[in-house]
Amino acid sequence: MNSVLKIIGLILLTFFLFLGIIALILFLYLKISLPSISQLKNYNPKQAILIVDNQGKVIGYLGEERRIYVPLEKIPDHVIKAFIAAEDANFYKHRGIDFFSLVRALFKNLISGRIVQGGSTITQQVAKSLLLTPERTFSRKFKELILAWQIEKHLTKDEILNIYLNHIYLGEGAYGVEAASLTYFGKHVWELDLLEAATIAGLPPAPARFSPLNNPNGALTRRNYVLRRMAEVGFISWEQANYLMTRPLQLNPKNVNIPAHSAYFIDIVRAELERLLPKEVLKWGGFKVVTTLDVDWQKRGTENLVSSLLRQHPGNPPEVSAVCISNEDGGVRYLLGGRDYLKSSYNRAILGKRQPGSSFKPFIWAEAFEKGLLTPNSVLPDEPIILPGADAGKDWAPGNYDGKYMGPMNLKQALALSRNTIAVRIAVILGVDNLRDMVKRLEFDFTQPINFSIALGTYELTPLELTTAYTVFPTLGAKWKPRFIEAIYDKVHNGREIYRSQPENKQVYSPATMSIMNEFLQEVVRSGTGRCASALGVPVGGKTGTTQDYRDAWFIAFTADYTCGVWVGYDKARTLHRGETGGRIACPLWLALMQARAHAPKPIPTYTPPIEVGSIN
């Protein structure tokens, strides 16, 4: 009997020794192939770039992963305890591996013949998330155990928790507790109450399946599980847990992706960031970008404008783009590149070059006044005019939109009624050299040779270019350089300012000339082609534009505070419909856009000449 026992003992000893050798060999093999944990010591994850408007309101996020890093000291104790109770109650007791949980999971996995339960500690989850691939195999699990043991040797418990709470995926594109807090509750992680903390802490096993947005019942079940676990481990009382489990699931979800109404603007911001910051720096994110946008105006204005467009064209609506610029600092407060970003991301506001038609005429008038070739009291005939055409041997005979002629007219009335023949006559009085000076003064980038047809807006401009040029009127001659970014900070929370744009303008016309033009352009709204804009209820100056065959409709106008331009047309330059002029289609859209924001009834600036020394008795 003793010999049999000795033989059995020897066999068992040999078996376990063999297993030990195999385990040692496997350990050494895997250890050699394991990734280094050095990156965890200086944890620097990819983060989102937070985009906010000029009042600090969140527009959305850019970046490969929507993560906003928050140091552990800013994460409340009840949030930390909710995650520990749900995921790893013995976190502060073990050294990376919880053997009891591991044996329980191993037993269930052996029975099923596959990995069905992880039994992973928080440290193991860190190892898996940052250092390993996600496949569910025994070799990957063994690597995870070795790495967890190594991590615990080199990092403190707080360092591990800091990584875990900032790195873990929590559904709806949110990585880390701060992004999840903003996504589900519209608040920072340090503002979460216990119920909200328990809701987020219930997500790690299956973020998509337990998402409060897609499966509120599942999320409620997981939240209550977390509350029970917190009571079981002594973090809260059973009385508190039982009461909280009766409370409903309350969310305040935020669309933290870029909303469609602001997407055209954010595309410009993205391009600006790529110009301002190195590509490798942008890749890691973590910046806060303050833009010039007014996101409330952007949202309401787009809703108003697009719904107005669809009422006008319910069947086959044309495209539309619009730009609004602050007359105080050149900041772009509103920008729309098309009626539906999800259908077409082509940004017509900055890329769509089209003929401006009669909306270009104010610059012809302004140039004539600036050069002293005409005065506000000048009178010109509205009569047929024939000029040499661009093709040799052919004449050019521009006519008026209505086919009629009104005889001698003063220049204010001629602009208000948009008389083409008078615009061409002013261009002839200026001459080609002065017209070239005007183009240079306004910094228009025209590739074709300049001729007299420029008076009728035949040279193409984008809505942004034309609207920017119109800022010379309400600023009494200073053309703003449009700005999209106010400032960039190197951290989302309390970061250092690394860039700030400076308002930049250039005086291109005299205040006296612009004061005249402001009165003329207000007359366009009072009695001319832009009458619909008077419904805004504040002083407005502007000009309509319609191109040949009704292919483009424009209205560019300004109040004391903002200069805004609207273009309507089809991408393939087909006709809108007969009679759909700038005054009939673009001006109502401009009005719908402007009515989405309150406007003070301030007068449009006028020029007051300085009192000369010695002129006072």
Please name the amino acid found at residue 551.
R
Token reading at 458: 């035949």
CA–CA dist 227, 473 (Å, integer): 64
Instruction: State phi, psi for 53 to the nearest 5 degrees.
Output: -90, -170
pLDDT band at 616 (very low <50, low <70, confident <90, very high): very low
Burial of 144 (0-12, 13-18, 19+ CB in 10 A): buried
pLDDT band at 115 (very low <50, low <70, confident <90, very high): very low
pLDDT digits (tens, 9 = 90+) for 213-272: 999 999 999 999 999 999 999 999 999 999 999 999 999 887 777 889 999 999 999 999
Q: Which domains does the chain have, with CATH numbers?
A: 64-244 (1.10.3810.10), 291-351+460-483+500-608 (3.40.710.10), 357-459 (3.40.710.10)
pLDDT digits (tens, 9 = 90+) for 382-414: 999 999 877 776 889 999 988 899 999 999 999
pLDDT digits (tens, 9 = 90+) for 66-109: 899 999 999 999 999 999 999 999 999 888 777 776 666 566 55
Kindly list the distances between the CA atom of residue 214 and the CA atoms of 172, 176, 253, 260, in Å, as whole numbers in the listed order: 9, 19, 11, 21
- Residues 6 or more apart from 69 whose CB is under 8 A from it? 45, 47, 166, 176, 178, 286, 491, 492
- Residues 6 or more apart from 398 whose CB is under 8 A from it? 385, 387, 420, 421, 424, 453, 456
Residue 418, SS3 per DSSP? coil
Q: What is the set of active-site residues?
A: 87, 358
The predicted pLDDT at position 317 comes to: 95
CA–CA dist 42, 155 (Å, integer): 10
CA–CA dist 236, 230 (Å, integer): 6
Decide if pLDDT at 119 tops 80. Answer: no
pLDDT digits (tens, 9 = 90+) for 139-173: 667 777 788 888 888 889 999 999 999 999 999 98
The predicted pLDDT at position 23 comes to: 57
pLDDT digits (tens, 9 = 90+) for 552-573: 999 999 999 999 999 999 999 8
Token reading at 99: 């053997």
* Half-sphere exposure (Cβ direction) of 411: Cα atoms closer than 13 Å: 23
> What's the CA angle centered on 177, arms 171 and 182, to 5 degrees?
75
The predicted pLDDT at position 615 comes to: 45
Residue from 195, 168, 231, 228 nearest 79 by CA: 195
pLDDT band at 116 (very low <50, low <70, confident <90, very high): very low
CA–CA dist 545, 528 (Å, integer): 12
The predicted pLDDT at position 106 comes to: 62
Burial of 283 (0-12, 13-18, 19+ CB in 10 A): exposed
Contacts 24+ apart (CB under 8 A), 47-51: 47/284, 47/285, 47/286, 47/492, 48/179, 48/285, 48/286, 48/492, 49/273, 49/282, 49/285, 49/286, 49/287, 49/288, 49/289, 50/287, 50/288, 50/289, 50/492, 51/258, 51/266, 51/269, 51/289, 51/291
Residue-by-residue DSSP string for 434-456 = HHHHHHHHHT----SPP-GGGGG
Mean of the per-residue pLDDT values of the chain: 90
More confident residue, 2 or 36: 36
Name the percent of the chain lying above pLDDT 90.
72
More confident residue, 579 or 1: 579
pLDDT digits (tens, 9 = 90+) for 19-64: 555 555 555 555 555 777 777 888 888 899 999 999 999 999 998 8
The total number of residues shown for the chain amounts to: 617
pLDDT band at 136 (very low <50, low <70, confident <90, very high): low
CA–CA dist 228, 241 (Å, integer): 6
Residue from 586, 10, 617, 523 nearest 354 by CA: 586
Dihedral through CA 449, CA 455, CA 458, CA 459, nearest 10?
Answer: 50
More confident residue, 14 or 66: 66
Kindly list the distances between the CA atom of residue 150 and the CA atoms of 35, 40, 113, 159, in Å, as whole numbers in the listed order: 11, 11, 28, 14
Residue 107, SS3 per DSSP? helix
Q: What is the pTM of this model?
A: 0.85
pLDDT digits (tens, 9 = 90+) for 409-441: 999 999 999 999 999 999 999 999 999 999 999
The H or E element containing residue 367 is: helix 361-370
The predicted pLDDT at position 617 comes to: 39
CA–CA dist 136, 197 (Å, integer): 28
CA–CA dist 525, 523 (Å, integer): 5
CA–CA dist 108, 115 (Å, integer): 8
Token reading at 399: 């006519």
